[in-house]
A and B are shown apart, each in its own frame.
Chain A
């Protein structure tokens, strides 16, 4: 992940700055506020897989890593698809990938190909997968298929129904 850079330079510098970037994309994630009696922040996993369900990059895992005796790891498997596709072979926490659970709200994540945690993606068809599971709540898995690299800047979206809100993937070709 990298912080957004605001470019306010002369056009020629702007051009050279752009070429210094590799292919990149942003992911906007909405965690909806839910009107329920007992609310716990969801566990959320974000990853890219190829057409054969092979995980290409783990991008983010939000879970409770602060509990005594790592007890927060007990619920990682509730993100069932993430767990079978890669979670169960990882040792938590994963540097640059895992983080704390998030309160309801909008989150923007930015990734650059070749920069941790996003690997260099070979040209091809992929799916951005996002899975959320909430204690005493539900589970939801959303998928955004995309082709890499994009020929022009593109925003693809999907709307969750229960545990996730709007998810937007913005592809930013170099």
Chain B
């Protein structure tokens, strides 16, 4: 049965998405279908970390922190999660009509600096957790090339039973987020889609966006769409035909809250674009 509970607080120091994202592999969560009719439907999902969109052939990722926002704002768990060699599989039960958000969000602080001898240092190390006390103990206040990065990451996808709703689309004000002008479950191949990017709730200018349609293994070119958000944080997307798309966005500036000196936002979403 579905359990209703409060939204899981974002955990500082946990990088929920497999760390291999930094190795240029891509983590993704892809629904089998996104637009549904009828009552009490289920959607099956695949999730994995791989280079090829959406070919699970590298590692199954770690998706245990995935949560679901139901149309009425309650938080559901995903169900029937299986972790295979290369792929994670799970289900979401749609008992209400409207739009559901399936997501993970995380944030973490990491400091890097160099010693007087020129050796590179990093804190917290792999597997360690950030704590204010640990930060004060381990990170020098002044050092060569000292940088403290506040990294916020979000990965999400959407499915809709019946008519699309917008309650779950409301930005949280944390990290790099997509504020859809075009509803993410109302995307058609022949229509331009418009999205706004926000960083900590404010329009994010110059976000680098990469969009790739599924099926790269059946064509010779990635056919990547690359865009940058304008001064209102907006991007307009002309799709490369129908299919499921992987969207990845990156943002970086120096408007970080202390003790961070740099903040970065990473955003990944999967969208389904239907034929006209």
Contact = CB atoms under 8 A, between A and B. Distances in A.
A83 B275 contact: no
B186 interface: yes
Interface string B160-192: 001110000000000000000000001010000
B38 A88 contact: no
B39 A89 contact: no
Interface in A71-121: 71, 73-77, 80-81, 83-84, 87-89
Given A74-B38, A75-B37, A87-B37, 17 more contacts: A69-B40, A71-B38, A73-B37, A73-B39, A74-B37, A74-B41, A76-B37, A76-B38, A80-B35, A81-B276, A83-B35, A83-B37, A84-B186, A84-B188, A88-B163, A89-B162, A89-B163
Contact of B274 (A70, A74, A80, A89): A80
Contacts of B275: 80
Nearest to A75: B37
Contacts of A83: 35, 37
The A contact surface, by secondary structure, is helix
B36 interface: yes
A70 B276 CA distance: 27
Nearest to A71: B38
Interface residues of B, number: 15
A88 B37 contact: yes
B198 to A, nearest CB: 26
Contacts, number: 33
Contacts of B37: 73-77, 83, 87-88
Contacts of B163: 88-89
A81 B164 CA distance: 14
Contacts of B36: 74, 77
Interface of A: 69-71, 73-77, 80-81, 83-84, 87-89
Contacts of A80: 35, 274-275
Contacts of A70: 38-39
A112 B163 CA distance: 29
A69 B38 CA distance: 9
A132 B274 CA distance: 16
Nearest to A89: B163
Q: Which 4 A-B pairs have the closest CB atoms?
A: A73-B38, A77-B37, A76-B37, A74-B38
21 contacts: A69-B39, A69-B40, A71-B38, A73-B37, A73-B38, A73-B39, A74-B36, A74-B38, A77-B35, A77-B36, A77-B37, A80-B35, A80-B274, A80-B275, A81-B276, A83-B37, A84-B188, A87-B37, A88-B162, A89-B162, A89-B163
A22 B35 CA distance: 39
A70 B186 CA distance: 24
A138 to B, nearest CB: 11
Contacts of B40: 69
Nearest to A72: B38
Contacts of B35: 77, 80, 83
Contacts of B41: 74
Nearest to B164: A88
Contacts of A87: 37
A83 B276 CA distance: 12
A69 B186 CA distance: 27
Interface string B17-46: 000000000000000000111111100000
Nearest to A81: B276
Nearest to A79: B37
Nearest to A84: B186
- Of A71, A88, A89, chain B has the most CB atoms within 10 Å of the CB of A88
- Of B36, B38, B40, B188, chain A has the most CB atoms within 10 Å of the CB of B38
Interface string B254-276: 00000000000000000000111
